[in-house]
Each structure stands twice: as structure tokens, then as C-alpha cells.
């Protein structure tokens, strides 16, 4: 079996790539400033990894992009043509259009840590871990508020009777609970759109239960 590995360092003159910019907090065009291509192949398999230093063409912020593809992964584009998809990671990682909650450090422990790790899983992206993290966040909120119940379903319902949640809010959390259960027990990776929508709901809950009351208390003290 013949094996081949090739490492190429270059300053590419290529079209910009789309990258989630940590400064613009959205996906923007980035110019590739420098690139290292690592190619590996044997008799049946070929793989490419590109290590790139990229710069946002809007704000000049510099990031690191890694893109991987191989001969065994196939997908089909909108015209029905097969292609080899890339797995892309960007450092520092960021979900496009979603910065962390500004006041997340005011969340009680360990909610602040769970929130940060779940946001990171969503940004990396690690979809299964992100879904599990969303469920753990709901469990941690229920515990911190002292909601009674043998199961998370009962604890969410208890939050309604305690006045922490509305009935509509509880219905939303039950859907997220199901999402987390599926990810945990079936190792299912939900889509980026589904996970970001679920994280919207969780952030709204954290804002309403913890962060907005803190801000309101500050206004009361000032008065």
C-alpha cells in the first residue's frame, strides 16, 4: 500500500472565504493571508487539511481557519451535482450573529459555567454536545430554583406553579427537553438552525429569570 503526504506553504491569491467574524458578530468575507495545505493519500483514500490565517475585509480582524475534506465524504449541491464537503473550524470560535450574553457572568454558579460551555459547543460547532448542554441548563435552572419533581418534566411544571415560568414558557422548555433527550440517548445531531433557535429560548429564560431582575434591582437602588 503506497502512502503519500505533502505539506505546502503558500500565500494564496484566492477569492475571499466566508467566516464568522468575532468583531462584526456575523459572517463576513475574509481574505486568506497565508495557508498551509496538508495532503495525505493511500491507495483508497485522499484527505486535505487547510490551515489558514484569514482577515475580515470589513473590520480587519484576524482569525485562524481550518478546513478539512476527504475523498469518502460526499454531498449533493442545489443542481444535483456531487461534491466533497468541507468541515470548517474557526478560532476564536463564534456563532455568527450571536455573541454571548453580556451579563452572563452574573448568572449563579454553576449556571454561568454551563452556559459558557454550551455556547462554546454551539460555536465550535459540536451539535450533540450543544443539545445536551441546553438540557443541562434547564436542569440546572430547575435545581437552582428548588423546583420539586422526580423528572425534569415534573420540575418544569413545578416552575409554572412557582411563578417562575408561564405555561407557554414551560411548553417551550418541554420541547427543548425532548431535543436534549434525543441528543443524549440517540446521539442525534440537530441542525444549526434548530440549535440556535433552542438557544434563543434558553437565553430568553436566563434573561427573564436572572439578569433582568438584577438590572431592575439596580434601578430600584438608584431611585
**pLDDT at position 96, please?**
67
Indicate the burial class of 90 (C-beta count within 10 angstroms; 0-12, 13-18, 19 or more): buried
Task: Output Rg (C-alpha) for the chain, integer angstroms.
Answer: 22
Judge contact between 115 and 105, C-beta under 8 A. no
**pLDDT at position 221, please?**
63
Ranges under pLDDT 50 in the chain: none
**pLDDT at position 220, please?**
66
139-155: per-residue pLDDT in tens? 999 999 999 999 999 99
**pLDDT at position 222, please?**
61
Percentage of residues in the chain with pLDDT exceeding 70? 96
**pLDDT at position 208, please?**
92
Residue 193, φ and ψ in degrees, nearest 5: -65, -45
Domain ranges for the chain: 4-91, 104-222
Q: CATH classification of 104-222, choosing from 1.20.120, 3.90.380, 1.20.1740, 1.10.10?
A: 1.20.120
Amino acid at each position: 500500500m503506497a502512502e503519500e503526504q505533502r505539506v505546502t506553504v503558500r500565500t494564496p491569491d484566492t477569492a475571499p472565504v466566508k467566516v464568522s467574524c468575532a468583531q462584526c458578530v456575523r459572517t463576513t468575507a475574509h481574505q486568506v493571508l497565508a495557508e498551509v495545505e496538508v495532503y495525505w493519500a493511500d491507495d483508497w483514500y485522499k484527505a486535505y487539511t487547510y490551515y489558514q490565517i484569514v482577515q475580515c475585509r470589513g473590520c480587519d480582524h484576524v482569525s485562524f481557519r481550518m478546513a478539512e475534506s476527504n475523498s469518502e465524504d460526499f454531498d449533493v449541491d442545489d443542481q444535483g451535482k456531487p461534491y466533497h464537503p468541507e468541515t470548517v473550524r474557526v478560532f476564536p470560535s463564534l456563532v455568527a450573529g450571536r455573541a454571548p450574553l453580556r451579563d452572563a457572568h452574573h448568572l449563579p454558579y454553576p449556571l454561568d459555567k454551563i452556559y459558557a460551555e454550551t455556547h462554546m459547543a454551539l460555536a465550535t460547532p459540536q451539535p450533540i454536545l450543544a443539545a445536551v448542554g441546553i438540557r443541562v441548563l434547564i436542569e440546572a435552572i430547575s435545581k437552582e430554583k428548588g423546583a420539586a419533581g422526580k423528572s425534569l418534566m415534573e420540575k418544569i411544571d413545578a416552575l409554572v406553579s412557582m411563578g417562575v415560568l408561564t405555561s407557554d414558557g414551560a411548553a417551550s422548555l418541554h420541547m427543548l427537553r425532548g431535543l436534549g433527550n434525543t441528543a443524549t440517548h440517540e446521539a442525534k445531531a440537530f441542525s444549526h438552525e434548530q440549535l440556535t433557535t433552542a438557544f434563543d429560548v434558553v437565553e430568553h429564560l436566563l434573561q427573564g429569570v436572572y439578569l433582568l431582575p438584577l438590572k431592575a434591582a439596580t434601578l430600584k437602588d438608584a431611585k
